[in-house]
Structure 1
Amino acid sequence: MLFTLITGLCEAIIMLVYSALGIEGTLSAGYAALLDATLLALLSFYPLCRFVFAPLFLEHKQLQNTEQIMISAFNSTQEGMLITDSNSTIIYVNSAFTEISGYSAADAIGKKPNILSSGRQSRAFYQQMWGELLEKGHWKGKLWNRRKTGEIYHEGIQITRIYGHFDEDYFIAVFSDISEQDELEASLAEARKMEALATLVGGVAHNFNNYLAGIMGRVFLAKKADSLPKVAKQLEAIEQAGRSATALVSELMVFSRDVSLDESHCDLAKIVKRATKTARLVLPETIKLKLDIADTPLPIFGNKSQIEQIILNMINNAHDACMQQEGVSPLIHIEAGRRQWNQCKDKFACTKRNECPLCYETGVFFSISDNGQGIPEDIIAKIFEPFFTTKEPGQGTGLGLSTAYQAVNRHGGMMLVDSSETEGSTFTVCLPLDESYTANTKEQAHIPMQGKGEKILLVDDEDAVREVTAEALRGYNYRVVTAANGAQALEAFASHRDDLAIVISDVVMPKMNGDIAVAKMRSEKPGLPVIFTSGYSDISPPDEDCTQFIRKPFSPPELSTHIHQLLSRCRTTTDQAMQPSN
């Protein structure tokens, strides 16, 4: 329109010039046409360039820049993109498409998108997808596709219909590999499941601890009442089972909450032998166990039950590896001993010797080897990661080695793995030597302490725990008054306040908790010795004078030891406070 206006205006000016000069009609038709065209070109050149051609050129340049920006953006995005025509023929792909799928532009252009098909989606799936795409103009979902290498991967994809000219439509697909996202979601789901399980375990552990306290107490009383060898042997077996159950509950409590485990001086050689004996009971007879355990003590400072659980876990993994290897006689080799820097460097050829602090001093170790199928090199670096497992779904949580690795680290040690496919694996745990251990060092034991007729107020809402504990304490020459909750405890305290020597109270109880009841008692009788007990994992010991805390289940000898220690300490503190100052 602007072009017509400018040329029309120029024609009018030429006619006015002809009229003014009086030459209109004096020239031949040919000369007139030539002159007219020349003048028109001269007069319209600038305005056409200024108002028509320059804007058109600028617009074209902008379109080129926009196109270049779009192409750059198309190729620089991390999402794969492809465009097809109405016949579903690929006409363009970006560089991310090549990175994800493995197909270059030359491989893909001119082909159908089904070159990516994994075969996992049904025909009905694609019919539904295309129906929604044609109806709504877009579709979003997830697909299983296949790379050029044949590897199947999971992708999130969005397809949009673009309406073009001449009734020809185009389709643009934007997709990304969501395999890592799937793993993260699976890990988060597993973490939520484990969190719910941890809450459940915490509650179960509390109840289980109360049951164990009653069982262990009854066994103690039965052993005192009957000295027949056969009966004593059976009671000892029950007591050992109770101790094992107690250790297991402690492990569950550590798992469910951030609860520290008791540590003590112990002999690694004894722990390995005990764990091996336990494992032998459940291992198939077809698996041969070879033991090389030092005859001399291997002193460490740590939690015996946790170390034993690590060993059992490693033996179980060795068993699984052996059972997957065909054509060989399954063998598990268990070693335990001392090692020094020169041994790590030469005899053991440890790959971690330059970074392991234990190699610069004498340490102890245990290792478990198998002749199974070994661990592939591409996953060996992942085996200590939480939730990583190569087992079938439902066969493992992927937490065994990761929790064992963390437990070893908490003990100041290091866990190493050496594996070769088809030849088996060796897991080695190195731990610091307990320098304070001597030949006379004994693992912690509680020697029963007789009372002197002191009166004890025993408060517990569990009838079995309260009854068996009271009976055991009476056997240690204590007078015992019992209460089933904090409210009853206050009533008993009011009647026995003057001659009450100590209070032993559960913390969480109906009607009134033990700590609240004790606070009311101490307001009337300051300095009253108190031993709190609890089967809950998240109960913290009160930081107060003349106060101790015992976690359930506890044995009567252990309780008697704590009573004797607390009464002795509180008497000393009271006597010192009563001495006149100089």
Structure 2
Amino acid sequence: LQAIVDTAVDAIITVDEEGRVEFWNQGATRLFGYAAEEAVGQPITALIVPERSRESHLQGFRRALQAGTFLKTEGMAEITARHKDGHEFPVQISLAMWQVLGRRRVTGILHDLTRQKQLEAQLLHAQKMEAIGTLAGGIAHDFNNILAVILGFTELAKMHVSANSALERQLREIELAGKRAKDLTKQILTFSRFDQTERQPIVLKSLIKEVVRFLRATVPTTIALHTHLTSEASVQADASQIHQVVMNLCANAEYAMRQTGGTIEIRLEDVAVSAEQAHLHPELHEGPYVRLSVKDTGPGISDEVLPRIFEPFFTTKGPGEGSGLGLSVVHGIVTGHGGAILVHSQPGQGTQFDLYFPVTHPTAHHEIPLASPSYIGGSERILFVDDDPSLVRFARDFLAQLGYQVVGYADPQEALTWFTANARAIDLLVTDQTMPALTGEALALAMRNVRPDLPVIVCTGFSHTMTPEKAKALGIEELLLKPIEAGQFAEAIRRVLDGAKVSRSP
């Protein structure tokens, strides 16, 4: 029986009526750190109960003996236990009272809940981040519509004022502020993982070297910058976003050591995630990864702050020193790439961020040259649909300025009704994606049921459902992300119209 009990994974402990240990198996030794010869004869509360809780546990034990049952604690309960080295951890305990020769004994089976609690905390954190991300994406959609109106009419106004005039300079300031807000919205969308980006196989080592060259020119000389880049593997990634990740992490490290100086160490290495690691961190899977580590020798992060560092707009910096989006953006980028981010930090011992990216095999990638934005016009007929009346007015004014004939609707149902009666009266449909009653996708499909060769451009500030891949699969010629600069908007329209002419030519 002793051998059987000692093979049990859990701790099995028996105490007498005084609460002194009579039996202590090998599982108890593994769990609490005491050998059986150290534990037997000692009060159980002195061995495994935190000092602050010992008196209440002892009183409960005595009441249970008097009542002859453990009532609520008989069965399963969770308590905080104490290891020999002093650290505390959660355990699940099952108690039973029994008698031998008229003397009562209590036997407990104790199971370590540390891993279970860690997994529960990670799940709750992931759900919290997902909920915040969904909220952020929805806000970004509305904000992008507002920015589209501000930037659109600003660019339209600039077309009617003299260059270098006072009014032109004032409009330029409005435009610059709008573009800063556009960048902030892009960060929010990146955090929420709904940003639509171009990814291709890239060798991280080359990219990190480029970032480090830039960092060496910006990090003060009081902070040393060391690199250890050994991985030659490729990952499927957006280069600009990985650049942003490294810059954000190093900017935080620099801020933490700005007054004292220190060291930033960047490592890039190939690692194989084991089944055990994947079990501990559900966002990881067993297999090959590239691990990017950014480590600093700063003051570290306190236990109170650490759980909140990836929350958007949470910051420990002073007013005007940070938006609180840096680490939330990093989190969104890494998880959006199918990776994971782990943090190790203790006050006074610096901080290390470990970023895991799944390895991919490089494939041929063809760069598509981007033409410079310009106000290219035409004389074709365009149907513009958006549930924001201000954007409809901007499109009508701007496109008319470029020579186009424009029909605009803020109600997609009304637009569909008009189109059904005038299907050959337009050359292009430009529609918003997220609209009440009828999405841009649904509107485009309904119109193509009437006229299959209708060219379509879909615009979106944020969408759960519309991606570049889906737009391509639906035959939509262009998917544009709001807020769209006027020159890019004009160029996209011209590109789609010219493409339609080529496809129709014999």
* TM-score, length-scaled by structure 2: 0.71
**What's 2:282 paired with?**
none
Alignment of 1:261-340 (within 5 A): 261-262=197-198, 303=238, 306-319=241-254, 321-322=256-257, 329-330=260-261
Measured after TM superposition, the shift of residue 462 of structure 1 is 1.0
**What's 2:454 paired with?**
528
- The 3-state SS of whatever aligns with 1:510 is coil
Structure 1 contact 118–152 (Cα < 8 Å) conserved: yes
CA distance 1:128–1:274, shift in 2 (3 Å):
same
- The 3-state SS of whatever aligns with 1:155 is strand
**1:394 and 2:308 correspond:** yes
**1:461 and 2:387 correspond:** yes
CA RMSD of aligned residues (A): 4.7
Measured after TM superposition, the shift of residue 72 of structure 1 is 2.7
| 483, 486, 490: which one aligns with 1:556 | 486
Separation (CA, whole Å) in 2 of partners of 1:209 and 1:186: 34
**1:189 and 2:98 correspond:** no
Query: What does the per-residue CA deviation read over 1:112-132, in whole Å, with 9 as the maximum and x for residues that have no partner?
Result: 102222124274465356545
Structure 2 contact 11–28 (Cα < 8 Å) conserved: yes
Separation (CA, whole Å) in 2 of partners of 1:302 and 1:141: 47
Separation (CA, whole Å) in 2 of partners of 1:522 and 1:499: 14
**1:213 and 2:148 correspond:** yes
**What's 2:284 paired with?**
none
CA distance 1:405–1:543, shift in 2 (3 Å):
closer
Measured after TM superposition, the shift of residue 96 of structure 1 is 0.6
Structure 1 contact 529–546 (Cα < 8 Å) conserved: yes
**What's 1:14 paired with?**
none
Structure 1 contact 82–174 (Cα < 8 Å) conserved: yes
Structure 1 contact 306–407 (Cα < 8 Å) conserved: no
Query: What does the per-residue CA deviation read over 1:276-316, in whole Å, with 9 as the maximum and x for residues that have no partner?
Result: 99x99xxxxx9967999xxxxxxxx9757524531442134
Separation (CA, whole Å) in 2 of partners of 1:187 and 1:532: 37
Structure 1 contact 89–113 (Cα < 8 Å) conserved: yes
Query: What does the per-residue CA deviation read over 1:487-543, in whole Å, with 9 as the maximum and x for residues that have no partner?
Result: 110233256444312111112322333333333433333312211122233213153
Query: What does the per-residue CA deviation read over 1:10-52, in whole Å, with 9 as the maximum and x for residues that have no partner?
Result: xxxxxxxxxxxxxxxxxxxxxxxxxxxxxxxxxxxxxxxxxxx
Query: What does the per-residue CA deviation read over 1:339-383, in whole Å, with 9 as the maximum and x for residues that have no partner?
Result: xxxxxxxxxxx884999xxxxxxxxxx9988553689xxxxxxxx
CA distance 1:524–1:102, shift in 2 (3 Å):
closer
**What's 2:87 paired with?**
151
| 48, 56, 70: which one aligns with 1:137 | 70
Alignment of 1:325-364 (within 5 A): 329-330=260-261, 352=269
**1:121 and 2:53 correspond:** yes
Higher relative contact order (CA 8 A, sep 6+): 2
* Larger Rg over CA atoms: 1
- The 3-state SS of whatever aligns with 2:493 is helix
CA distance 1:191–1:392, shift in 2 (3 Å):
closer
Query: What does the per-residue CA deviation read over 1:47-74, in whole Å, with 9 as the maximum and x for residues that have no partner?
Result: xxxxxxxxxxxxxxxxxxxxx3xx2332
Structure 1 contact 81–97 (Cα < 8 Å) conserved: yes
- The 3-state SS of whatever aligns with 1:447 is coil
Measured after TM superposition, the shift of residue 273 of structure 1 is 9.6
Unpaired segments of 5 or more residues in structure 1? 1-67, 281-285, 293-300, 336-349, 356-365, 376-387, 431-435, 577-582
Alignment: residue pair count:
441
**What's 1:164 paired with?**
100
**1:84 and 2:15 correspond:** yes
CA distance 1:560–1:354, shift in 2 (3 Å):
same
Percent identity for Structure 1 against Structure 2:
24
Unpaired segments of 5 or more residues in structure 2? 227-235, 273-291, 312-326, 358-363
Separation (CA, whole Å) in 1 of partners of 2:271 and 2:109: 49
CA distance 1:133–1:506, shift in 2 (3 Å):
farther
**What's 1:203 paired with?**
138
Separation (CA, whole Å) in 2 of partners of 1:232 and 1:485: 34
- The 3-state SS of whatever aligns with 1:511 is coil
CA distance 1:425–1:171, shift in 2 (3 Å):
closer
Separation (CA, whole Å) in 1 of partners of 2:265 and 2:16: 66
Measured after TM superposition, the shift of residue 555 of structure 1 is 1.5
Alignment of 1:375-394 (within 5 A): 391-394=305-308
- The 3-state SS of whatever aligns with 2:473 is coil
CA distance 1:306–1:146, shift in 2 (3 Å):
same
* TM-score, length-scaled by structure 1: 0.63
**What's 2:232 paired with?**
none
Measured after TM superposition, the shift of residue 274 of structure 1 is 9.2
Separation (CA, whole Å) in 2 of partners of 1:493 and 1:174: 74
Separation (CA, whole Å) in 1 of partners of 2:308 and 2:95: 36
Structure 2 contact 191–331 (Cα < 8 Å) conserved: no
